[in-house]
Amino acid sequence: MAQTPSIAEEKTSSAVSSSKSITLRIARFNPQKDSDTSFMEFKVPVEKWTTVLEAILDVKKHFDHSVAVRYSCRQATCGSCGMVINGKPRLACFTKISELNSDTVTVEPMHNFPIIRDLAVRFDRLFNSHHKVKPYLIRDDTDVSSDTKEILQSPEELEQFIQFSNCIKCGLCNSACPTMATDSSFVGPQALAQAYRYVADSRDKGKDNRLKIIDESHGIWRCHFAGSCSQVCPKGVDPAMGIQLLRGYMLGFRS
Amino acid sequence: MLRLPWYTEWLLCLVNKMRESHIMKIHYGTALAAIGLVAVHILMRLTQGFAESLEYESVIENYKFLPYAGLLEIILILLSIHGFNGLRVILLELKQGRIYEKAVSYGCVAAMIGLIAYGSRTIIMVNTGMI
Amino acid sequence: MNPHDEHKEGIGGMANPGRYGIERIAYWLMRLTGLGLLGYFIAHIYETSNILRGQVGWDEFLDLTQTTEGHLFLTLVIGMCVFHTVNGIRVMLGHGGIGVGKPARPDYPYLPASQNSQHKIGIYSAIVLAAIAMVYGMAVMFGE
What tens digit of pLDDT does each residue of A61-109 get? 999 999 999 999 999 999 999 999 999 999 999 999 999 999 999 999 9
What tens digit of pLDDT does each residue of A12-32 get? 444 455 679 999 999 999 999
pLDDT score recorded for residue C144? 63
List beta partners, residue A104.
A23
pLDDT score recorded for residue A146? 62
Q: Which subunits have 3 or more CB–CB pairs within 8 Å of chain B?
A: A, C
Q: Any chain B CB within 8 A of the CB of A221? A: yes
Between C3 and A137, name the one with better pLDDT.
Answer: A137
pLDDT score recorded for residue A1? 37
How does DSSP classify residue A51?
A: B
List beta partners, residue A106.
A25
Q: What is the pTM of this model?
A: 0.90
Mean pLDDT for chain B overall: 90
Closest partner residue to B93 among A182, A216, A251, by Cβ? A182
Bridge-based pairing of strands A104-108 and A20-28 is: parallel
Closest partner residue to B93 among A179, A219, A251, by Cβ? A179
CB A83 within 8 A of CB A107: yes
Give me the CATH code for the B21-127 domain, please: 1.20.1300
Mean pLDDT, residues C51-70? 92
Q: Which residues contact A164 (CB under 8 A, 6 or more apart)?
A: A193, A194, A196, A197, A200, A237, A242, C103
What tens digit of pLDDT does each residue of B21-49 get? 999 999 999 999 999 999 999 998 888 88
CA distance B118 to chain C (A): 8
Rounded distance between C-alpha atoms, residue A110 and residue A176, angstroms: 9
pLDDT score recorded for residue A3? 42
Q: Which subunits have 3 or more CB–CB pairs within 8 Å of chain C?
A: A, B
Percent of residues in chain C assigned helix, strand, coil, to nearest 5: 75, 0, 25
Rounded distance between C-alpha atoms, residue A74 and residue A132, angstroms: 29
Homologous superfamily assigned to A17-121: Beta-grasp domain (3.10.20.30)
What tens digit of pLDDT does each residue of A40-52 get? 999 999 999 999 9
C58: pLDDT strictly greater than 50: yes
pLDDT score recorded for residue A113? 97
CB A226 within 8 A of CB A186: no
Residue ranges per structural domain of chain A: 17-121, 124-140+151-251
Q: In the CATH scheme, what architecture does the domain A124-140+151-251 have? A: Orthogonal Bundle (1.10)
* Residue count of chain B: 131
Alpha helix positions (H), chain A:
7-17, 52-62, 124-132, 155-159, 172-176, 189-199, 207-214, 228-232, 239-251
Q: How far is CA C137 from the centre of its chain?
A: 16
Q: What percent of chain A has pLDDT over 90?
A: 85
CA distance B22 to chain A (A): 9
How does DSSP classify residue A146?
A: T
Mean pLDDT, residues C59-86? 95
What tens digit of pLDDT does each residue of B47-82 get? 888 888 899 999 999 999 999 999 999 999 999 999
Residue ranges per structural domain of chain B: 21-127
Interface test with A, best of C14, C32, C91, C118 (most A CBs within 10 A): C14
pLDDT score recorded for residue B11? 67
Rounded distance between C-alpha atoms, residue A92 and residue A95, angstroms: 5
Residue ranges per structural domain of chain C: 19-36+68-99+113-143
Chain B, nearest residue to C54 by Cα: B131
What tens digit of pLDDT does each residue of C98-130 get? 999 999 998 888 999 999 999 999 999 999 999
CB A68 within 8 A of CB A119: yes
ipTM of the complex: 0.91
Which amino acid, residue A188? G
Chain C, nearest residue to B126 by Cα: C52
What tens digit of pLDDT does each residue of A172-204 get? 999 999 999 999 999 999 999 999 999 999 999
Q: What percent of chain A has pLDDT over 70?
A: 90
pLDDT score recorded for residue A4? 42
* Residue count of chain C: 144
CB C106 within 8 A of CB C55: no
What tens digit of pLDDT does each residue of A118-152 get? 999 999 999 999 999 999 999 877 666 666 677 88
A–B CB contacts, 8 A cutoff, strictly below: 34
What is the tally of helices (H) and strands (E) in chain B? 6, 0
Rounded distance between C-alpha atoms, residue A46 and residue A14, angstroms: 6
Rounded distance between C-alpha atoms, residue C144 and residue C35, angstroms: 30
Contact B79 C41 (CB under 8 A): yes
Mean pLDDT, residues C46-66? 93
